[in-house]
Amino acid sequence: MSLSDEVSVERPAAKLSIRGVSKRFVSGQRSVHALDDVSFDVGEGEFVCLVGPSGCGKSTLLNLVAGLDLADSGQISADGIPINAPGRDRMVMFQEAALFPWLDVLGNVMFGLHRKPGLTDAERREVAEFYLRLVGLEKFHHAFVHELSGGMKQRVALARALAPNPRVLLMDEPFGALDALTREQLYGDIQRIWQQRKKTIVFVTHNVREAACLGDRVVLFSPHPGRIREQFKIDLPRPRDINSVELARHATAITAALKNHVRPEAEVAE
């Protein structure tokens, strides 16, 4: 069901607030309008998926929330505090695992804990081992990156992002480069972990069915400049099967809306 047709929608208290955010990129004489007047909230413990065509500004918005870049106008805040720089309260997981090849699995997860104050080396190791168990890699502590499959690397990256206990987890197409079977396994993993830890998650994807499988809410962006066109509440129980008929119904509705918003842009371009 599209939220745009509902009078009111009950959501958790806002963890992230995005208000009137616009962003342009200028290179030489060329200017790209990536985001235009984007506003929405993400509730405490909510799993929100951002979906839209390539170039619609989804990853740009994620970088702004992470504090890796600044908006030209508007404001992004976490717990009411404006975001102007990266912070330990927000961790990012990218499409590439970006692990350190000279460190083993345990060392990679512990790396993100070195700047967390008040922890001894023994405590850092204990935290890292806990999150490796959470992602099912407790038997691979001393394996190196070149010994891991693509899915295992992403599990390590997920454990590394979770280990500092961030308030918000930002995920930029983390499963996009994986094969279908591995992705399905990770869909189950991330749902299980989310249910256990109740992290606030903002997840960028091109895959509509993936968004319907993972998200409490799907936010649909238009082609650039990125604007929010519709929002969809996914009211299916968890864990969700990406191949289920019920999930396909939601994915079909989102896909139809996406096509409706993309087509007028394409017609204008012609």
Contact 162, 134 (CB under 8 A): yes
Q: Which amino acid is present at 99? A: L
Q: Which amino acid is present at 250? A: H
What is the reported pLDDT for 32?
A: 85
Rounded alpha-carbon distances, angstroms, from residue 163 to 44, 79, 158 = 19, 21, 9
CATH of domain 3-89+166-269: 3.40.50.300
**CA gap 153, 151 in Å, rounded:** 5
- The whole model's pTM is what? 0.88
What are the pLDDT digits (tens) for 98-150?
899 999 999 999 987 887 777 888 889 999 999 999 999 999 999 999 999 98
What are the pLDDT digits (tens) for 57-111?
999 999 999 999 999 999 999 999 999 999 889 999 988 888 999 999 999 999 8
Average pLDDT (176-201) is 88
Domain locations along the chain = 3-89+166-269, 95-165
Question: Which residue's entry shows tokens 């799907």?
Answer: 218
**Chain-centroid distance, C-alpha 222:** 18
Helices and strands: H and E segment counts in the chain: 7, 10
What is the reported pLDDT for 48?
A: 97
Tokens of 45: 């413990």
Question: Which residue's entry shows tokens 């927000």?
Answer: 90
| Surface-to-core class of residue 180, CB atoms within 10 Å of its CB (0-12 exposed, 13-18 middle, 19+ buried) | exposed
Rounded alpha-carbon distances, angstroms, from residue 22 to 76, 77, 155, 238 = 11, 15, 33, 35
Sheet holding 217-221, edge to edge: 90-93, 168-172, 200-205, 47-51, 217-221, 228-233
Rounded alpha-carbon distances, angstroms, from residue 21 to 37, 109, 224, 229 = 5, 33, 14, 15
Query: 3-class DSSP state for residue 45?
Result: coil
Average pLDDT (257-262) is 83
Closest to 209 (Cα-Cα) out of 179, 253, 166: 253
pLDDT surpassing 50 at residue 8: no
What is the reported pLDDT for 9?
A: 40
Q: Which of 179-183, 250-254, 260-264 shows the lowest mean pLDDT across its residues?
A: 260-264
